[in-house]
Amino acid sequence: MLKQIIFIFLFGGIAASFAQNLEALQKIPDTVASNSTFVITTTITKPQVVDFMEFTQSLPAGFTATSGENKGGTFAFKKNEVRIIWLVAPNEASCLITYKVKVPADAPGTYTITGKIIYISGNNERNFFVLPVKKITVPNPKTSVKTPAQKPNSEPTHLPATVPEKLSPAAKKFADSLKLANYIAETESLRAFLNREEEKAAMKESAAYAKQETESSSDYIKHSATRAENEATLAELKAKLDSGQLGINRLKAELENTTLSQKNVLIAISTKNNSSVAKTDLLLAQLKMKSEFNQAETKRLKIELAKANENAASTLRIINLKNSAANAQAALMLSDLKTNLDSGQLEITKLRSDLDKIKVIGSNTSNAISSTDGLVRTSESDYFLGENDKPISNGFYVIIGTFSRKENADRFRATNTLEGRPNSKIIQNQFTKVYNIYEFKSNNRAEAEAARLKCKAVFQDAWILKLE
């Protein structure tokens, strides 16, 4: 149990730290009609520095979704899951996204909607926010609930349901008195039955006598036989009634002989039995509560495990996306390199001449042009602005970092300053809106190549930007 508690606190602390930088509020109706369409609105309040963001939400089986306002994200709906992906999150601190949900034609019941938001902050840290669980109800107008009528409780509440098999003679007498009460009730019912039978017989006799004057003699004989049979039945019933009355009188006499102390003995036994039953019910209730708690704890741990698996899958997807982006960037670099190599034999000869001047390259200078170490990109200086949006001059710039956000570029330059590299400066490409940080600038390509080789000791992806 102690290990479970420690796991719960650790996992709760981790989840809280993940969700502290981003919040989301959803508007989902409590009740929706069959074959109707409703809108789910989500307001996301996020940090300013967010590079990647993914919104996912699971809908009940049979429900479908279509795109609404997604702030430039890519919308997809597959296998009852809504997904909106931003490779670069919206700039505003608070954004509102919507999508439409279609309810099936015949789907009464209560359903659950869950979801989460995964995002990567500027320091490449992965975080997630779990959306609150929402239950929606689809009513069935054809169904009406009827409350069954309750039968009156005719059993006595002050006596036990059963009488113990072994009782004292006095207690047994009192138990017999209970039988007497039932016997009296049966006798009274029998007496009422006899009265009704006598009334019916009298009515039949009067009717038969009135009919006798008009009927044949054979009918009169038949009527006489029926009357005799009825009289015999009445006599038999009266005999049973008299016998029952004698039994009632006997049981009444025995009941009068029962003392108050003997009655208290039976009541005490009943009280003790009721107390034992109450204790048993209490123990059963406690065991049921413990069982329900264990089931809830097991269910919660299963949910946490499922969430962990989902997070791992999301992490793999993000890594794949980043690898794809890196491959695309590498392909772009290779394309630029091939373009430069194909620009003409004169440019190739000039590059080789400049590279021959770099002594650090050594004997492998002839192979540097076709490798990553000789990567040079050419652009026009009119596309770029320096510090305070000032134009920059032509030349060779050794680039050590590229960022899509100004905040990340400033943070990178500040880190270089703290580590003893105060010469880092920022330039921006006005066409692509990308921020480049360069460590060295020269009008001589050989000097720029030498500086790039030195920078590669710290920045392996360093390259040269040639501005004309």
What is the model's pLDDT at position 350?
52
Q: How does the average pLDDT of the chain come out, rounded? A: 78
Phi and psi angles of residue 156, each rounded to the nearest 5 degrees, phi first: -65, 140
Inform me whether the pLDDT recorded for 120 exceeds 80: yes
pLDDT of res. 362: 35
From residue 223, give the alpha-carbon distance in Å to each of 16, 198, 203, 209.
97, 16, 13, 9
Residue 328 confidence (pLDDT) above 60: yes
pLDDT tens-digit map of 208-264 = 655 655 555 565 566 567 777 777 888 888 888 888 788 788 878 877 776 666 767
Q: Considering the chain, what percentage of its residues have pLDDT values greater than 90?
A: 38
Short-list 135, 117, 7, CA closest to 73: 117
**Cβ contact 112:135 at 8 Å:** yes
Instruction: Tell me the CA distances in angstroms from 90 to 86, 128, 271, one per residue in order.
Output: 8, 17, 74
Asked if the model's pLDDT at residue 183 lies above 90, the reply is no
- How many C-beta atoms lie closer than 10 Å to residue 351's C-beta? 19
- 108-122, 213-227, 424-438: segment of lowest average pLDDT: 213-227
At residue 97, does pLDDT exceed 90?
A: yes
Q: What percent of the chain has pLDDT over 70?
A: 72
Contact 373, 460 (CB under 8 A): no
pLDDT tens digit sequence for 33-55: 999 999 999 999 987 667 788 99
Answer yes or no: is pLDDT of 184 > 80.
no
> Would you state the pLDDT for residue 357?
43
